[in-house]
Amino acid sequence: MLRLSKKTDYALMAITHLASDPGHRAASARELAERYDIPIELMAKVLTRLVRSGLLVSHPGTHGGYELAQSPGAISVAAVLEAIDGPLTMTACAHADHECDQFSKCIVRDPLRRLRDRIAAVLAECSILEIVADPEPSAPPVRVMSLPAMRRVSAL
């Protein structure tokens, strides 16, 4: 199963929050943590990684905080994922230092590597600006059963 880590979720939430602020005001780790109910220590670690990767800049002091180092359109989802979790991998053999017992006979290694490359390309093309611009999903439509259908169900 492909799944983003919670740290990557939190990083995307923080960056999207900063990108959606029209005044481009810096936000503190505490403010972001409280806004999204994330433990402050964990949010601080995530923000530190984003600063180290060059996606955010930090401003110390009473009125300091974190802000985007680049425009939201220049920050890709892939860059955020890589800043937090490292390069995208799908299998253990994707690492150069790991070779499993089936490495020489594996028939899915190369197709999975190509699939990983395609997924990485999509993530690289998707910017934070796209996430900010994506409207909230509407509630799923409610299906109302007709009276004859309700009678058939109740007869069961």
Domain that holds residue 59: 6-136
Q: Is residue 125 part of a domain?
A: yes
In tens, the pLDDT along 6-26 reads: 999 999 999 999 999 877 789
Q: Is residue 93 part of a domain?
A: yes
Q: Is residue 18 part of a domain?
A: yes
CA distance 25 to 144: 46
In tens, the pLDDT along 48-96 reads: 999 999 999 999 988 889 999 999 999 999 999 999 999 888 777 755 5
Q: Is residue 55 part of a domain?
A: yes
Q: How long a stretch of residues is the chain?
A: 156
* Rounded (5°) CA angle 48-25-52: 20
CA end-to-end span of the chain, whole Å? 38
pTM of the predicted model as reported, rounded to 2 decimal places: 0.78
Q: Is residue 143 part of a domain?
A: no
Q: Is residue 64 part of a domain?
A: yes
CATH number, domain of 66, equals: 1.10.10.10
Identity of the amino acid at 97: D
CA distance 90 to 109: 10
Identity of the amino acid at 105: K
Domains of the chain: total: 1
Q: Is residue 87 part of a domain?
A: yes
Identity of the amino acid at 152: R
Question: 96 to each of 78, 84, 141, how far by Cα in Å?
Answer: 20, 20, 48
Query: What crossing angle do the helices spanning 77-85 and 6-20 adopt, rounded to 10°?
Result: 140
Q: Is residue 1 part of a domain?
A: no
Q: How confident is the model at residue 134 (pLDDT cuts 50, 70, 90)?
A: confident
